[in-house]
Homo-oligomer: A and B are copies of this chain.
Amino acid sequence: MTKTNAGRFFEDYRLGQVIRHAVPRTLAEGERALYHALYPARHALYSSDEFAAACGLESSPMDDLLAFHMVFGKTVPDISLNAVANLGYAQGRWLAPVWPGDTLRAESQVIGLRQNSNGASGVVWVHTRGLNQMDQVVLDYVRWVMVRKRDPDAPAPDAVVPDLAPAVPPEALIVPEGLDFTGYDFELAGEPHRWGDYALGEIIDHVDGVTIEEAEHMLATRLWQNTAKVHFDATFRDDGRRLIYGGHVISMARALSFNGLANAQMIVALNGGAHANPCFAGDTIRAWSEVLDKAPTGAPGVGAIRLRLVAHKGDAGDRALRDEGGKYAPQVLLDLDYWALMPL
């Protein structure tokens, strides 16, 4: 009997099933430095212990998306090794900062199943939680993927499609304990624009572009212990190209959004997201954002801003996301919807 992990197929999932993912991981200064080498990440709260302390935190936490990737990566061998497509995210929340020295692990519960009409695959919804060494949930999200069946004749489960919120409501956002932006240093943070300066519907073109390299996306994807073959093995696809982990595009776009959103310091919720088209080495990634919503928070000086973050390759054109048939335009790589915290 083979000892290697062939991954789960659609018929292996059961509603309500809880999967404890391997391998726990201790995060420290090294992961932080690599994150800042792999992405042009400059949000001051994640860059400087002094800046974080002046904002009421004990020190600079690990980057929000670093925590996300680390939790996501653990789920790959159990959830998406045989995935045909990563269909969406919902109800994601950052519940507590991750500090250097913390050890993260992840658990997922199957909360939805629906076989496709072709009988060859199905959609699996999982609710994933990232936990630290004190069993505190630091991150929480729903993801759904299309997974192949091993045996096309395996019976279809009863279809259960979870009822997911289109966005995390502002009152459900968790502001890290102690966070206080009343003494916020806009000069050190890099931009003068505060929460009140952003208008609903406003578009921000983030100007900068980064051309993607094979070595960089593989370093990143390995760091998150994401093992999907398609990211590493150039012989896996017929065209000899390595598909870039969608999270690499998320982090690149978020880091590029510093230019215009330098004060959108901390991501606290992931409302939704689509990896619209595949990204490959040699693509030059650019990004633009749209202000979707704004809300106060109870924390001193802290507002919440809901942003659409779009990553694209080549020219953004007229920023049309979709064609007439509702399909994503070919240059769009990512369409992400998140809440961030910003000084009032």
Measured CB to CB, the residues of A under 8 A from B are: 2-5, 20, 22-26, 28-34, 36-40, 42-44, 47-51, 60, 77, 100-101, 103, 105, 133, 187-191, 193, 197, 204-211, 213-216, 218-220, 222-223, 225, 227, 229, 232-236, 242, 259-262, 282, 284
Of the candidates B3, B43, B222, B284, which one forms a contact with A39 in the assembled complex, judged by CB atoms under 8 Å apart? B222
**Known interface pairs A38-B222, A208-B232, A227-B208; A26-B3 also in contact (CB < 8 Å):** no
Contacts A37-B219, A209-B232, A233-B284 supplied; 9 other A-B pairs, CB < 8 Å: A3-B204, A4-B207, A24-B50, A26-B50, A31-B33, A37-B222, A42-B225, A48-B103, A208-B233
Please determine whether A44 and B23 come into contact, CB atoms closer than 8 angstroms. yes
Please determine whether A188 and B20 come into contact, CB atoms closer than 8 angstroms. yes
Please determine whether B29 and A48 come into contact, CB atoms closer than 8 angstroms. no
CB distance from A44 to the nearest CB of B (A): 5
**Complex: chain B residue closest to A36, CB-CB:** B223
In the complex the two chains form, what is the Cα distance from A227 to B49 in whole Å? Answer: 21
In the complex the two chains form, what is the Cα distance from A5 to B190 in whole Å? Answer: 9
Chain B residue contacts of A37, Cβ below 8 A: 34, 219-220, 222-223
In the complex the two chains form, what is the Cα distance from A210 to B235 in whole Å? Answer: 9
Please determine whether A77 and B190 come into contact, CB atoms closer than 8 angstroms. yes
In the complex the two chains form, what is the Cα distance from A66 to B339 in whole Å? Answer: 35
CB distance from A23 to the nearest CB of B (A): 5
In the complex the two chains form, what is the Cα distance from A207 to B227 in whole Å? Answer: 11
In the complex the two chains form, what is the Cα distance from A49 to B23 in whole Å? Answer: 11
In the complex the two chains form, what is the Cα distance from A206 to B4 in whole Å? Answer: 7
